[in-house]
Amino acid sequence: MQNPSDPAEQLDRNSGPIDLQDDLEGDTLREECGVFGIFGHPEAAAITALGLHALQHRGQEAAGIVSFDGSRFHSERRLGLVGDTFSRREVIERLPGNAAVGHVRYSTTGATILRNVQPLFAELNAGGFAVGHNGNLTNGLTLRRDFSANTFRRKTARPQSGTRLRRLRIRPASP
C-alpha cells in the first residue's frame, strides 16, 4: 500500500481514486454568477450597475441591486440582462444610498424566476444586511427542514441565500 498522505491515493467519495493529472486539467476558471459591491459613494447603485455590466458574461439570466440609504434597503431585481434594466435613470433613482451590492445570475440550481434573483436583504431588529453569493449550499434542503419550526416564511427568499438569511435571524444573540 502506498503512503495514504499521497494526494493521488486519496479517495473521492463519488468516483474512487483522484487522478491528479485530470484534477489539474479540470482546475480552470468557472464563470458562474457575478457579485459586485461598493460602499461610501453617493452614486453607489449607478457604479454597481456599471460593475454588473462588466460582469455580465458571468450570468445572463437575471440581475439585481440592493442599495442602503442609511435607514432602509431598496431593491431592484429583474430577469434578463443588466443593460435591459439598470441603464434606465428612473431605476437607478429608486436605489438611493451610499452602499450597494449587485448580482448577475447564472443558475446552477433553481428555476429562472424572479424569486431566485439576488441579492436578497433582511431587515432585523439590530439592523440589516444584503447578500449576494456565488455557490450552492449542499445541505440546503436539510437546513430548510431544520429551521421550519423556528423561522419566518418569506415568499421571495427561495434561493439558498434565503436559507442563510433565516439561519442568521434565528441564531441566538451572543452575550
Identify the CA nearest to 77 among candidates 107, 102, 52, 54.
102
Task: Respond yes or no: is residue 33 known to be catalytic.
Answer: yes
% of the chain exceeding 90 in pLDDT: 39
What are the residues facing 100 on neighbouring strands?
Answer: 38, 67
| Tens digits of residue pLDDT in 39-80 | 999 999 999 999 999 999 888 899 999 999 999 999 999 999
Question: What global pTM score does this model have?
Answer: 0.66
Q: And the C-alpha cell for 94?
A: 429608486
CB 123 within 8 A of CB 74: no
- Provide CB contacts within 8 A for 116, sequence distance 6+: 62, 105, 107, 110, 158, 159
Which one from 4, 8, 29, 33 is the annotated catalytic residue? 33
